[in-house]
Amino acid sequence: MNNHLISYMVFLPFFGALLQAFVSMTRSRWIALAASLAASACAIVLVVSMQIQTSDFQQMESLPWVGSYAISYDMAIDGLNVLMVLLVAILFPVLIASEWNQKVGVRGMHGLFLVLQTSLFGVVCAQDLFLQFFFWGLSALPFYFLVGIWGGEGREKAAFRSIVAASLGDALIFSALVLVYYSVDPHSFSLKELAGGRLAGKMFDFLGYELPVSGVAFILMSAGLSLRAPIWPFHGWFTEVAQEAPSSVFVALCAGSVPVALYIFVRVCYLLFPETLSIAGKIIVAVGATNLVMGGVCAVAQKGLRRLLAFICLSEVGFVLTGIGSLNSVGVVGAVYQQLIFGLGLAGFGLFSGVISERTGSTVFLAEDGERTFGGIATRAPWISVVAGVVVASLLGFPGFGGFVGHALVIIGSYSIHPFTVVVSGGALLLASYYLFAMYRSVFLGKPGVGSHPFEDLTFREQAYMFPVVLSLLFFGLYPKPLIELIRPAVLTVLSAVK
Amino acid sequence: MTNQIEHSPTLLVLCTFILLFSGLAVFIWGKKLPGKGVWLVGAGLLVLLAGFGLDEGLFLKETFRVKVWMVGWIWPRQEVGALTVGVMQDLVGYAMGTLAALVSSTLLFHQFFLSRESCPEKIYASLAISTAGVSLAWNSLTPWLSFSGIALTLLGGIISFGTRSESNLEANNVARFAWERASGFLLAFFGACILTTSRSALLLSHDANWIIQGEHLSSTWVGSILLVIGLFIQTQPFPLLSGIVSKSEVYAPIRVLLTQAFPAWGAFSLLIRLQPQFLSLGLFPAFGWVALGTCLLAILSGLFQNQWRSALGAWLTAGFSLSITFLAFSSRLSALGMLLGSSLGALCIAAAGNALEEVCTQSLPHQKRATGLKIASFLGACAGTGVFGFVSAAGGIHWIIQTLQLPSLIPPFLIVFFLFVLLGWRLSWRVIRLQNVSQASWLSIFPIFIWVFLSLGILWTGTATGDVLLGNPDRLFSSLFSLFFDNQAEFSNPDEYVTASSLYWGILLLAFLSAYWTSGRKEDLLIRIAGVFPRATGFLASGYGVDQMAFQMMSGVSWLGRSAEGLIDIKIWTQWIPRGLYRGITSISQVLAEIDVQISSSLEGALKRLIEIPAKILQLIQTGDLRWYLVFALSSGFALLLHYLRT
């Protein structure tokens, strides 16, 4: 039975974006926020109404779209994507509220955020490969405009690099899709129809060579996604966007788009290429470990909050990949859980760095000569320092915060299969404790630095939009049970295909 | 109702959380309610004490039945990899929780000093949070809840240290504290996670056995090693001494209690409970040597400190290391005795030193108060160094007796113990010599004697001398230690007892006299030595140059990060690949353009030639140079000829 609430959730932001473009600026803000909140409310209703201990799709909506190519509007929510629905639902109202006082083109910015919300909800819920690709391709465009119009001095270059990386990635993904589509008879884009090892043993001819469909499509898909999620060493565009994009836009990228890219990887690869995944598990873990270590090492060298955030994201992606590649139920559940938690953690980091940037006009906390530019914010603005403390604690995985759950599950799940990688990831966590506390010291403690400005604490609006993020980090850290019971059956089902 | 309390651990958990929330409330809203914070935290501590009192009373009614309650937290509890939380209420947990609550409550009476802090509410909050942390850590059935307790003690330490974070020095101290302890915490957490990979639940109860038959020991080994290292770091031994001996203006007892003692008590909750597991894995005797080595390094650093506060930090750290040595080579009883004695002793010396250090502003100096503080300092040293009558004596003498089984180990053990006692007494002398007057209120002096009382052997061992006499003729009531660990702490072999006690008392006396000779007289001998060998003693006092080395190492990592970033982000992606692509594309397009030009010109030439011949003929005809009928005739002739030739 079709549940139209999914469509309301996906398209309400889009219609909100259209509507707010034709009204006055004051009204447009409220319409944008209302549209985003309404979609989020639909999402939360959908999530709350889900039953635990089942791996079936629980909320579904299916309509034919392009019949001649067997493309359908097939949307559903199950244990694998439920957390991403929740993440997008929490993130976008917060981002719209954070850009409430945007002076330049507020309607455009809010409109693009709403389109982005629609596209990410669409990607997450789509159960048809083409539909998913459609939404995924759509999600690259708002970033191009958001960075190119509202970014810093080097915005054109950063926007260009981001769209080039996204286009290349999308081209590779599309090649994988076409390969998969034509390899099954009757041709299909439906994930449900393609699942269950239907691609196993299929070969195709390329320049006289017989190549396995599953292996080639897996490589194309992985390569394509690695250009949208920051994978070392293909992350150059990402750090440049971090440098140039407004804080809220970069939060949307690293806390929204990146976890969704990882979700696509999990969903598509576990369902479509289980036999390839069983071989590629070690490679995924090796890529994850490289990301973890290089992200950590590069983060130590950072002197600005934005680039630091970019490298923390790189590290977190590595951690999630370690869990995904473990092919172990505990590890994969941890990875899926960590996608939500690191999204929220990075969102919190990006938001408080955005507030600092708004107040001081900069996010550089150490000058070139090593002098501290901030400092002493904790005494002048205690609420910001508390928010930053919660975010740091969650990113490090302290008990009571979301990061603890994700980290623990990934370590437990991965150690028995990849002990060396887990020990390496332990080293990366120690590095994280160094650079995060060093950042905290430089920004929040001590005497005000050389370029310090008068600094106000969080306003009511800022408290209002940071509250859901902080509360989520605490709640999901203290009481993860319901969410884990939602994820676990779905993970066990997809893992059974691999094993 | 009573039955429910007896069988359920909810009361104590509830009391702990009430205290925690009172601390958090004071932390958040303390500034808006000036003067109320102390009452709120005090009420929270009273609630916890009442909870412990009620539970202990009910507990002692029966024959020490341990209350255990467990629930799956993350992952179903019966499966491998489950993270379970559980409460275990046994007598040692009750005692440590009660002790933490008592010490914190009595510290609240130091209003005279605490009210002068820039933000006293934060200190009250940190006291509540840390005490709740110690209570949670000691009343946990699985390590995960203990970790939560340890994390709370770290939070308390950070908040208390952070009250003076406006100065760069204190800000560096708090950042260093947070980083070092967080590193230890993360290592321990990693270790516990690795241990969980092959077990359904990690239990801290007496009957739990972590060795799994037939299992490859790697996860047990790696996990246990990381767990021990992580917990060891919580006590901040070498190479983390620089943070301990750094200068700080934070109220000395607060620094001792919240940044050293409580985090270490939290860590010891796991070390003491897991001692049998670590012994069966063979980790403990090995790790005992590490602890003994770090103890020696901490003492040597402490001996040459210019400030008594720094020396106190080093001494307490050495005490923790010594407790771990006791745990590894002797018994849990010895370790707990030394832990309690050194912590409470250091607290007494810190409070007395801080009060005696204060410059007197009142017209009438109070000599009696200063005398009281000096006595407190003296008793603090007694409590920490194992003088008979104090709880640490039980630990010390049992340790020496165990050492007699391994004669080759006696000299290093005795040297370290001698230096530890020497440093303790040297500290006490230095505090006693600070001033002869003090303006500290009696209300803030009185709690120091409560701490002295809490460190008395009679309270813990039931004997007036602290379990140091053969056959315990001075026993007044049964020993708490025996109830804690299900074993009697009595000496069986009279010969061993005589040797051990002679060695023990001899070392104590020698160390006491040495301390007086070096520090109790007019001229401090060690300071004179430091003047003669400034570089060598400076090296020891600064923590063995570890800071510089760590700085170099982190600079190296930072350089590596910058280089990687420069190579990947700037060189490869911003310069080389775009340039390469540009050059590749332009050169290909140039080649193609040249080929195009050549093809075009060839085609043009061919076309030209093709058109030129008929065009010329037509031109000749047109101009009249060639007659059309002649061409027609010739053409017709050729055509006819060709026709007939073919036929």
Query: Among A282-296, B119-133, B348-362, whose mean pLDDT is lowest?
Result: B348-362
Looking at B31-115, list the stretches that DSSP marks H as alpha helix, in order from N- to C-terminal side: 37-61, 91-107, 111-114
Residue in chain A nearest B562 by alpha carbon? A301
Is B178 close to A430, i.e. CB distance below 8 A? Answer: no
Residue B8, pLDDT > 80, answer no
Token pair of B260 as six digits: 């050293």
Same domain, B531 and B572: no
| Contact criterion met (CB below 8 Å) for B305 and B245 | yes
Same domain, B458 and B572: no
ipTM passes above 0.85: yes
pLDDT tens string, chain A, 499 residues long: the values are 677 899 999 999 999 999 998 888 888 999 999 999 999 999 999 999 988 878 888 888 888 888 888 889 999 999 999 999 999 999 999 999 999 988 888 899 999 999 999 999 999 999 999 999 999 999 999 999 999 999 988 899 999 999 999 999 999 999 999 999 999 888 889 988 888 778 888 888 888 888 999 999 999 999 999 999 989 888 888 999 999 999 999 999 999 999 999 999 999 999 999 888 888 999 999 999 999 999 999 999 999 999 999 999 999 999 999 999 999 899 999 999 999 999 999 999 999 999 999 888 888 888 888 788 888 888 888 899 999 999 999 999 999 999 999 999 999 999 888 888 888 888 998 999 999 999 999 999 988 877 667 788 899 999 999 999 999 999 999 999 899 999 999 999 988 887 7
Is A441 close to B573, i.e. CB distance below 8 A? Answer: no
Residue A88 located in a structural domain: no
Reduced to 3 states, what is the DSSP secondary structure of residue A211?
strand
Same domain, B452 and B538: yes
Query: What is the distance between the alpha carbons of residues B550 and B455, in angstroms, rounded to a whole number?
Result: 38
Residue B456 located in a structural domain: yes
DSSP per-residue codes, A299-329: HHT--BHHHHHHHHHHHHHHHHHHHHHT--H
Q: Does B189 touch chain A (CB under 8 A)?
A: yes
Window 523-552 of B, Cβ < 8 Å to A? none
Residue A232 located in a structural domain: no
Token pair of A226 as six digits: 């690695």
Which residue, of B544, B567, B583, is where some domain finishes? B544
Is A396 close to B186, i.e. CB distance below 8 A? Answer: yes
Residue in chain A nearest B571 by alpha carbon? A236
| Contact criterion met (CB below 8 Å) for B340 and B334 | no
Higher pLDDT residue, B556 or B242? B556
Same domain, B482 and B629: no
Task: Pick B167's closest partner by Cβ from A235, A434, A447.
Answer: A447
| pLDDT tens readout for residues B362-410 | 655 577 788 888 999 999 999 999 888 899 988 888 888 877 877 777 8
Residue B459 located in a structural domain: yes
Which burial class, exposed, middle or buried, applies to B56 when counting CB atoms under 10 A from its CB (0-12, 13-18, 19+)?
A: middle
Residue in chain A nearest B169 by alpha carbon? A446
Question: Which pLDDT belongs to residue A343?
Answer: 95
- Structural domains in chain B (count): 2
Question: Which pLDDT belongs to residue B363?
Answer: 56
Is A399 close to B172, i.e. CB distance below 8 A? Answer: no
Same domain, B458 and B562: no
Token pair of B149 as six digits: 């307790």
Residue A397 located in a structural domain: yes
Which burial class, exposed, middle or buried, applies to B594 when counting CB atoms under 10 A from its CB (0-12, 13-18, 19+)?
A: exposed
A193 CB-side CA count, 13 A: 16
Task: Pick A437's closest partner by Cβ from B148, B178, B218.
Answer: B178
Residues of B in contact with A423 (CB under 8 A): 222
Q: Which of A330, A318, A340 is nearest to A427 (CA)?
A: A318
Task: Pick A419's closest partner by Cβ from B171, B218, B572.
Answer: B218
Task: Pick B190's closest partner by Cβ from A235, A298, A411.
Answer: A411
Which residue, of B485, B514, B544, is where some domain finishes? B544
Question: Which pLDDT belongs to residue A67?
Answer: 80
Residue B536 located in a structural domain: yes
| pLDDT tens readout for residues B256-271 | 999 999 999 999 999 9
The one-letter code for the residue type at B30 is G
| Contact criterion met (CB below 8 Å) for A403 and A283 | no
Residue-averaged pLDDT of chain B: 86
Q: Which of A156, A407, A489, A249 is nearest to B76 (CA)?
A: A489
Same domain, B504 and B456: yes
Residues of A in contact with B161 (CB under 8 A): none
Range of the domain at A439: 282-499
Residue in the structure block whose two tokens are 């609430």: A5
DSSP per-residue codes, A50-114: PPSS--S--EEEEEEEEGGGTEEEEEEE-TTTHHHHHHHHHHHHHHHHHTTT--S-HHHHHHHHH
Residues of A in contact with B165 (CB under 8 A): 378-379, 445-446
Range of the domain at B618: 548-646
Question: Which pLDDT belongs to residue B213?
Answer: 54
Residues of A in contact with B178 (CB under 8 A): 437, 440
Question: Which pLDDT belongs to residue A11?
Answer: 95
Residue B151 located in a structural domain: no
Residue B217 located in a structural domain: no
Residues of A in contact with B565 (CB under 8 A): 239, 298, 301
Higher pLDDT residue, B4 or A369? A369
| Contact criterion met (CB below 8 Å) for A430 and B183 | yes
Residue B125, pLDDT > 60, answer yes
Q: Does B144 touch chain A (CB under 8 A)?
A: yes
Q: Which of A275, A262, A269 is nearest to A337 (CA)?
A: A262
For residue A204, the cross-strand partners are A211
DSSP per-residue codes, A138-190: HHHHHHHHHHHHHS-TTHHHHHHHHHHHHHHHHHHHHHHHHHHHHHSSS---B
Residue B184, pLDDT > 90, answer yes
Question: Which pLDDT belongs to residue B556?
Answer: 93
DSSP per-residue codes, A4-19: THHHHHHHHHHHHHHH
Is A446 close to B198, i.e. CB distance below 8 A? Answer: no
Q: How far apart are the first and last CA of chain A?
A: 32
Enumerate helices (H) and strands (E) in chain B, giving the number of each: 28, 2
| Residue A442 to chain B, least CA–CA distance (Å) | 9
Residue B588 located in a structural domain: yes
For residue A60, the cross-strand partners are A76
Q: Which of A125, A2, A122 is nearest to A62 (CA)?
A: A2
Same domain, B380 and B458: yes
Question: Which pLDDT belongs to residue B397?
Answer: 83
Cβ-based neighbours of A93, under 8 Å, separated by 6 or more: A33, A36, A37, A40, A465, A468
Same domain, B355 and B495: yes
Token pair of B637 as six digits: 């002739």
β-strands B67-74, B83-89: how paired? antiparallel
Residue A19 located in a structural domain: no
Is A481 close to B73, i.e. CB distance below 8 A? Answer: yes
Task: Pick B175's closest partner by Cβ from A233, A330, A441.
Answer: A441
Residues of A in contact with B194 (CB under 8 A): 411-412, 415, 419, 422
Residue A398 located in a structural domain: yes
Which burial class, exposed, middle or buried, applies to B294 when counting CB atoms under 10 A from its CB (0-12, 13-18, 19+)?
A: buried
Residue in chain A nearest B198 by alpha carbon? A416
Token pair of B490 as six digits: 């009595």
| pLDDT tens readout for residues B562-572 | 998 888 888 88
Confidence at B63, pLDDT banded by 50, 70, 90: low
Reduced to 3 states, what is the DSSP secondary structure of residue A465?
helix
Query: What is the distance between the alpha carbons of residues A399 and B100, in angstroms, rounded to a whole number?
Result: 21
Residues of A in contact with B179 (CB under 8 A): 433-434, 437-438
Window 59-78 of B, Cβ < 8 Å to A? 72-75
Same domain, B424 and B533: yes
Same domain, B575 and B603: yes
Same domain, B480 and B591: no
Residue B174 located in a structural domain: no
Residue B476 located in a structural domain: yes
| Residue A114 to chain B, least CA–CA distance (Å) | 31
Which residue, of B524, B544, B564, is where some domain finishes? B544
Residues of B in contact with A407 (CB under 8 A): 189, 193
Token pair of A441 as six digits: 């010291």
Count of all residues that appear for chain A in the document: 499
Best mean pLDDT range from A48-62, B333-347, B432-446: B333-347
Confidence at B1, pLDDT banded by 50, 70, 90: very low
| Residue B168 to chain A, least CA–CA distance (Å) | 4
| pLDDT tens readout for residues A394-418 | 999 999 999 999 999 999 999 888 8
Residue in the structure block whose two tokens are 């058109």: B611
Distance of CA A351 to the CA centre of its chain: 15
Phi, psi of B579 (to 5 degrees): -65, -45
| Residue A387 to chain B, least CA–CA distance (Å) | 12
Question: Which pLDDT belongs to residue B380?
Answer: 94
Same domain, B462 and B474: yes
Query: What is the distance between the alpha carbons of residues A7 and A303, in angstroms, rounded to a whole number?
Result: 43
| Other C-beta atoms lying within 10 Å of the C-beta of residue B256 | 25
Question: Which pLDDT belongs to residue B479?
Answer: 83
Higher pLDDT residue, B402 or B185? B185
- Structural domains in chain A (count): 1
